[in-house]
Amino acid sequence: MTYVTVEAEIDLSEIDLEDLIEELESRNAYENKTESELYRSLLTIIWQKRRAGNVSYDKELDTLIYDVLGHVI
DSSP-H helix ranges across 1-73:
17-26, 35-52, 58-69
pTM confidence score: 0.49
In the prediction, which pLDDT does 35 show? 73
pLDDT in tens, the chain (73 residues): 677 888 877 776 777 777 777 777 777 666 666 777 778 888 888 888 888 887 888 888 888 888 878 877 7
Q: Name, in order, each residue with C-beta under 8 angstroms of 17's C-beta and a sequence gap of 6 or more.
A: 48, 49, 52, 55
**43 near 64, Cβ under 8 Å?**
yes
User: Cα separation of 59 and 43, whole Å?
Assistant: 12
In the prediction, which pLDDT does 60 show? 85
